[in-house]
Amino acid sequence: MFWTNFKRIARTGFMNFWRNGTVSLASVFMMTVTLLVIGFILFGSAVLNTSLNTLRDKVDITVTFVPTAAETDILSMKHSLETLSEVSLVTYTSREDALTAFTARHQNDQSILTALAELNGNPLGAELDVKAKDPSQYQSIADFLQSQSTLSTSGVSIVDHVNFYQNKVAIDRLSSIIRAADKLGLAIAIAFIILSILIAFNTIRLTIYIAREEISVMRLVGASTAYIQGPFVTVGIMYGLLATLASLILFLPITYWIGKVTANFFIGLNLFSYYLHNFPQVFLVLLGSGAFIGAVSSLWAIRRYLKV
Q: Is 91 left (phi over 0), alpha (psi -120 to 50) or beta?
A: beta
State the pLDDT at residue 17: 63
Q: Which residue has the higher pLDDT, 222 or 199?
A: 199
Helix (H) or strand (E) holding 137: none
Q: Which residue has the higher pLDDT, 30 or 152?
A: 30
pLDDT band at 181 (very low <50, low <70, confident <90, very high): confident
- Give yes or no for residue 152 having a pLDDT over 60: no
Dist CA 255 CA 293 (whole Å): 24
User: Pick from 1, 7, 130: which is nearest to 60 by CA?
Assistant: 130
Q: Whole-prediction pTM value?
A: 0.64
Dist CA 14 CA 231 (whole Å): 8
Q: Which residues pair with 92 in a beta bridge?
A: 128
Instruction: Catalogue all structural domains in the chain, each as residue range(s) with its CATH number.
Output: 2-55+171-305 (no CATH), 67-157 (3.30.70.3040)
Average pLDDT in the 87-106 region?
Answer: 82
- Give yes or no for residue 74 having a pLDDT over 80: yes
DSSP codes of every residue in 258-274: HHHHHHHHTTT--HHHH
pLDDT band at 32 (very low <50, low <70, confident <90, very high): confident
User: Pick from 304, 241, 274: which is nearest to 31 by CA?
Assistant: 241
Q: Which residue has the higher pLDDT, 210 or 258?
A: 258
pLDDT band at 249 (very low <50, low <70, confident <90, very high): very high
